[in-house]
Structure 1
Amino acid sequence: MSDFYKPNRKPDWNYGGPRWRLSRSKIDLFEQCPRCFYIDNKLGTARPPGFPFNLNSAVDHLLKKEFDIHRAGKTPHPLMEKYGVDAVPFLHENMDVWRENFKGIEYKHPDTGMMISGAVDDIWVKPKGELIIVDYKSTSKDEEITTLDEDWHDGYKRQMEVYQWLFRKNGFTVSDTGYFVYANGNKDKKAFDGKLEFDLTLIPYTGNTEWVDKTILNIKKCLDTDEIPPVGEHCDYCAYRKAARDVQQEFLSAKAKLGKESKKGLFG
């Protein structure tokens, strides 16, 4: 087992333990596959996460530093001006907490008693105080990125909506429209020259948070049962587990059958 993946966590971090929280990523895991979510949060065996890409983390870090310059100066970033967004980066004493993984913004859900949390990339604010949720994404594609219309983009949209829901529950006025700042690595340069340049685009998304409360109630119901829930429709992890289990059973059955036939030949 690699140092990167730790499948079994301490009970304190499982559902019912003092350190357990329902994070934005756990809500998304439930939407992807209730079974993986249950095995992770109730039984304590985590699904292997995606490998962390340090280049993506570096882009996020640099974008935050760049927007923080305008946050301190209460000035719009050139990207906001380019796309006609009348806002500036939000200056708030809790900004660093809201952006920190494993902390983020929190809200205790009254109907379930669960602490809901999520760490944002950025918050912008309009002249009248309405907040805009902003998320940074980075990739490298040949074409300009202007839309989020792939199936796997649904997770990005849910992410945005959970953040909108969390800030509203904390008493803020939040715009339905959030933005994805997309950094696209440029491969058209004649030479690398020791640096990778990115093209930035701003993609608006109008969120709908009506599903969040209902999903939290369903999550609570799922965690409180002793029945392992069904597999997610498109869960490759569960598909792999089933395929691996089936082929091992076939192999062991064939091996056992061969062993019986060998004994029969010797002593029959």
Structure 2
Amino acid sequence: MGQKEPYKISRSKIEDFIRCPRCFWLEARLKIKKPSMPPFLINSAVDALLKAEFDTYRAKKEQHPWQIEFKVDAKPFAHKDLERWRHTFTGVQHLHEPTNLLIFGGVDDVWVTPDDELVVVDYKATAKNKEITDLEESKWHDSYRRQMEVYQWLLRGEGHKVSDTGYFVYANGIASGKGFFNKVEFRTNIFPYKGDDKWIEPALTKIKQVLESDMPKEDPECEHCAYARARTQLTIEALKTARNSK
């Protein structure tokens, strides 16, 4: 990259790199983005409402009833930078000096323990038949684990004492009612996750190396690479067929 100014990398772009270095490189270097997905607007609505609800107890300096129900020894944390930490385009920030990468990410919430340790909190919303009381062993939930760990690393980078244990506030939509009636009910669980951020700095070193290198090889497990390869092959075959038919 050869630049003196810090190069900004969001938490989600780190996740993109973990999933496929080639797709990450194409966007970072050539501005070629993967096909986008529709936004999860229901999830965003749940997120906004949860923030507003926990903010009510933050203002009162009290525990939320769920924190009592799920035996979480913490309260919503009041801090002058909380709104910045939550904002998608500013978030919690930390400059990784060895790579000159400025990492940032918007956290959903931060709680605080009686020992003044900060607790990273991530809101999730879904609609499954089974009760959600822990993360599954899946690639999707592995990304949730990394998300939590990056936020913990970022807050430590800003100089805060951060607990290894974060919490997921998981709202699960109930689809077994007798009708919609303009309302969806949720069953919300809170469960802990003990993070380990040791993977982050080695990953940032690799990101720096990839950014300064030629295009990486395809990731055999990347569906976007597989689609691009298949479409390219079909296009080449179609062009050959068209040329031979003249």
For structure 1, the residue ranges without an aligned partner over 5 or more in a row are: 1-13, 260-268
* In 2: Cα distance, 1:169 partner to 1:64 partner: 24
Per the TM alignment, residue 106 of structure 1 is displaced from its structure 2 partner at its CA by 0.7
User: Over residues 199-229 of structure 1, what are the superposed CA-to-partner deviations in whole Å (9 max), with x where a residue is unaligned?
Assistant: 101121111100000101111111112x101
Is 1:153 the counterpart of 2:141 in the alignment?
yes
Matched, 1:177 2:169: no
Question: Cα deviations across residues 114-170 of structure 1 (Å, max 9, x unaligned)?
Answer: 211010000010001001110001011111111211221111111011001001111
SS of equivalent residue, structure 1 residue 21: strand
Q: 1:16 to 1:181 in 2, by over 3 A?
A: farther
Residue 13 of structure 2 corresponds to which residue in structure 1? 26
Q: Following superposition of structure 1 onto structure 2, how do residues 38-57 of structure 1 map, counting pairs within 5 Å?
A: 38-57=25-44
Equivalent residue number for residue 83 of structure 2: 96
Instruction: Answer yes or no: is 1:87 the counterpart of 2:79.
Output: no
Find the counterpart in structure 2 of residue 6 from structure 1: none
Give 1:231 deviation, angstroms. 2.0
Return the offset for 1:250: 1.1
Which residue pairs with 2:199 in the alignment? Answer: 211
Q: Tell me the number of residue pairs that the alignment of Structure 1 and Structure 2 aligns.
A: 245
Q: TM-score normalized by structure 1?
A: 0.87
Cα deviation for residue 258 of structure 1 reads: 2.2
Taking structure 2 as the reference length, the TM-score comes to: 0.95
Residue in 1 that maps onto 2:233: 246
| Deviation of 1:233 (Å) | 3.5
Match of 1:162 among 150, 154, 157: 150
Give how far 1:31 is off: 0.2
**Structure 2 equivalent of residue 237 of structure 1:** 224
Structure 2 unaligned regions, length at least 5: none
Shift of 1:49: 3.0
**Is 1:127 the equivalent of 2:114?**
yes
Distance across 2 between alignment mates of 1:179 and 1:50: 27
For the 8 Å contact 1:15–1:42, the answer to whether it is kept is no
The 5 Å alignment of 1:67-78 reads 67-78=54-65
**1:96 aligns to what SS in structure 2?**
helix
Residues 184 and 200 in structure 1, CA contact (< 8 A), matched pair in contact too: yes
Deviation at 1:232, TM superposition (A): 2.5
d(CA) in 1 for partners of 2:244, 2:129? 55
Tell me, in whole angstroms, the C-alpha distance in 2 between the residues paired with 1:62 and 1:17. Answer: 41
Q: Who is 1:114 aligned against?
A: 101
Give the Cα separation in 1 of the matches to 2:232 and 2:46: 40
Amino acid at match of 2:135: L
SS in 2 for 1:42: helix
Residues 182 and 202 in structure 1, CA contact (< 8 A), matched pair in contact too: yes
**What CA RMSD, in Å, does the superposition of the two structures yield over aligned residues?**
1.7
Separation (CA, whole Å) in 2 of partners of 1:218 and 1:34: 9
Conservation of the 8 A alpha-carbon contact between 2:76 and 2:112: yes
Q: Distance in 2 between matches of 1:179 and 1:216?
A: 25
CA-to-aligned-CA distance 1:174-205 (integer Å, 9 cap, x gap):
11111111111111221222111111011211
CA distance in 2, matches of 1:48, 1:18: 29
The answer to whether the 8 Å contact 2:57/2:76 transfers is: yes
Name the % identity. Answer: 45
Q: Distance in 1 between matches of 2:43 and 2:164?
A: 27
- 3-state secondary structure, aligned to 1:70: helix
Give the aligned residue type for 1:255. Answer: A
**What amino acid sits opposite 1:161 in the alignment?**
E
